[in-house]
Structure 1
Amino acid sequence: MPTMPQSIFWSRTDTAGSEQVLFDDSRGLAARGTLLAVDPIPWTARYQLTTAADWSTTRVEVEVEGLGWQRRVTLERATDRWRVTTAEQGDLDRALVDAGHPRAGLPGTDDPDRLADALDVDLSGSPLFNTLPVHRLGLSAEPADIAHRITVAWVLLPGLEVVPAEQIYTGLGPGRVRFASGTFTADIDLDDSGYVVRYPGLAERIDPR
């Protein structure tokens, strides 16, 4: 497995947790990352992400595990269709119910064709995945206040259910983009390369001293 030349670390601000990603963006994006969080129960997720040169997502594999359970989902896009495969061990639902939370949905999707319009994957709670549409849409180079309505394949953590989701990205000038989905809106601060520095209510980047 090749080494990666760059790394970013974020601290979650919505719950106790963090994310580190190792990546190479010399031609599209190749990335490996790890997320940890305690909500709704403690879990650790590891992902591998590959995009085409235009930053449209071609493959994402996510594995998440907690005490007594493990799930995995893989999304691969080819010829304008998504192939979704899953695996599961243990009982996530029992862990959630025992902790007083609702059951999770099944991992993956029973109808990959619902994802047909998605060029991007969004992994819930991960600031890295906001960078994909920022680059693919060229938001850093276009005039401010142009809204782009897109559909993403949204991978929910920790259960790994995959659903289509409508999102709106609007450039607000250098270093800032507005993200909206449903009734939720956040103005996200970006670095010069389009990676998240601060996502209000979710995460902040921690740079080495």
Structure 2
Amino acid sequence: MSPLPQSLFWERRDTAGAEHALVDTSSGLYARGTALAVDPIPYTCRYELRTDAEWVTNYLDVAAEGAGWARSVRLELAAGRWRATTKEQGDLDAVLAASGHAGAGFPGIEDPDRLFGAFDVDLGGSPLTNTLPVRRLGLHQAQGADVGVAHRLSVAWVLLPSLEVVQADQIYTALPDGRIRYASETFSADLTVDDDGFVVDYPGLAARTGEKAD
């Protein structure tokens, strides 16, 4: 496994947790990351993410685990269609119920064709994946007439810790002050990004700490 040239670290603001991603942007994005959180139950998530040179996501492999359970899902895009491969050990539903939470959906997605037309993935609680549409659409460099244009997207949303995959509609808009507005049907946040389009501040979710290595 080759070392990667950049390191990004975020602290969660909505719960105790963090995310650390190692990234390479020499040809699209290749990233390996680890996310930890205590809500709704303590878990560790490890992922590997790959896009093509145009920043269209074509591969995401995620594994999540906690006390008494482990799950994984692999999403692969080929010829415009997504394929999902899943594994499950233990009983996440029982762990959630013991902690007073509702049960989780199965990992993956029953009908991957629901993701047709999705060029981005959104890993729950991960500010790294917000960079995917920002870079693919060039929103971090938007000028003139491109500022203020709302881009409605279909994404593959991977929920944590269940790793259930659902189709979701999201809207990204470059704002005049250089921030990027992210919105769904019930939520919106104005993201601060760096010159490379990586999230520096996601109000209410996470903020980046430390410095990016060259």
Distance in 1 (CA, whole Å) between partners of 2:16 and 2:154 is 29
Q: State how far apart, in whole Å, the 2-side matches of 1:170 and 1:96 are.
A: 36
In 1, distance between residues paired with 2:186 and 2:64? 28
Is the 1:35–1:44 contact (alpha carbons within 8 Å) kept by the matching residues of 2? yes
> How many residues end up aligned between the 2 structures?
209
Which consecutive aligned stretches of 4+ in structure 1 deviate over 4 angstroms post-superposition?
A: none
Q: How does 1:24-173 map to 2 (within 5 A)?
A: 24-142=24-142, 143-173=146-176
What does the per-residue CA deviation read over 1:172-202, in whole Å, with 9 as the maximum and x for residues that have no partner? Answer: 1364100000120000000111000000010
The alignment status of 1:206 with 2:205, answered yes or no, reads: no
Q: Mapping of 1:167-206 within 5 angstroms? A: 167-173=170-176, 175-206=178-209
CA contact (8 A) 1:71 1:159 kept: yes
Unaligned regions of 5+ residues in structure 2, if any? Answer: none
Contact 2:8–2:211 under 8 Å retained in 1 = no
* Distance across 2 between alignment mates of 1:165 and 1:12: 22
CA contact (8 A) 2:105 2:162 kept: yes
Separation in 2 of the partners of 1:199 and 1:166?
Answer: 19
How many angstroms apart in 2 are the aligned matches of 1:208 and 1:53? 25
Contact kept in structure 1, 2:71 and 2:88, CA below 8 Å: yes
TM-score, normalising length from structure 1? 0.98
Identity %: 61
Normalised by the size of structure 2, how large is the TM-score? 0.96
In the alignment, the residues of structure 2 paired with residue 159 and residue 27 of structure 1 have an alpha-carbon distance, to the nearest angstrom, of 31
For 2:119, the aligned partner's letter is L
Unpaired runs of at least 5, structure 1: none
8 A Cα contact 2:140 2:193, kept in partner: no
Distance in 2 (CA, whole Å) between partners of 1:140 and 1:81 is 28
> Quick check: 1:175–1:194 contact (8 Å CA) kept in 2?
no
- Assess if the C-alpha contact under 8 Å between 1:140 and 1:173 holds in 2: no
- CA–CA separation in structure 2 for the residues paired with 1:170 and 1:22: 26
